[in-house]
Amino acid sequence: MIIGLDHIGIALDNIEELGSFLENVLGIPLTGIEEVPERKLKVAFYPIGETDLELLEETGEGSTIAYFLKSRGNGLQHLAFQVEDIDKAVEYMKSKGIEFIEDEPKKGARSRRIIFMKPECTGNILMELSQCE
């Protein structure tokens, strides 16, 4: 069911500082920046092997990371697992008692279908399922 770790989401009030460190100090190239208007986010992608660091910055009030930034500040926000079939994965996880923040998968960055599990079901770590289209 889980193919691998797709990305690690890092919520930031400004993605440029960490992005500059990743590129100029660690030598990790930026592969793209994308705006996700539905979630009020700007997302920058930095690949490390088969996994991306996904830097997340608010583009408007009420973004999907607003509460996180207000309560915790900059930091690791979520882990995203790649799945082959997100609908089957959600059905399976629901059968195991896992609850989701949203009712069904929605469009996320890179046109992927995504859904977040409630942290209280995952040891208080926000986790996402992601399916490439």
Query: What does the H/E/C string look like for the chain?
Result: CEEEEEEEEEEECCHHHHHHHHHHCCCCCCCEEEEEHHHCEEEEEEEECCEEEEEEEECCCCCCCHHHHHHHCCEEEEEEEEECCHHHHHHHHHHCCCCECCCCCEECHHHCEEEEECHHHCCCCCEEEEECC
Tokens of 36: 């996700």
Task: Tell me if 4 sits within 8 A of 31, measured CB to CB.
Answer: no
Question: Is a pLDDT exceeding 90 seen at residue 12?
Answer: yes
Phi/psi at 57 (nearest 5 deg)? -130, 140
Tell me the whole-structure pTM to 2 decimals: 0.92
The pLDDT tens digits for 69-92 are 999 999 999 999 999 999 999 999
CA dihedral sign, ordered 53, 99, 37, 68: negative
Task: Tell me if 117 sits within 8 A of 98, measured CB to CB.
Answer: yes
Question: Is a pLDDT exceeding 80 seen at residue 133?
Answer: no
2-131: CATH architecture: Roll (3.10)
Domain ranges of the chain: 2-131
The pLDDT tens digits for 94-112 are 999 999 999 999 999 999 9
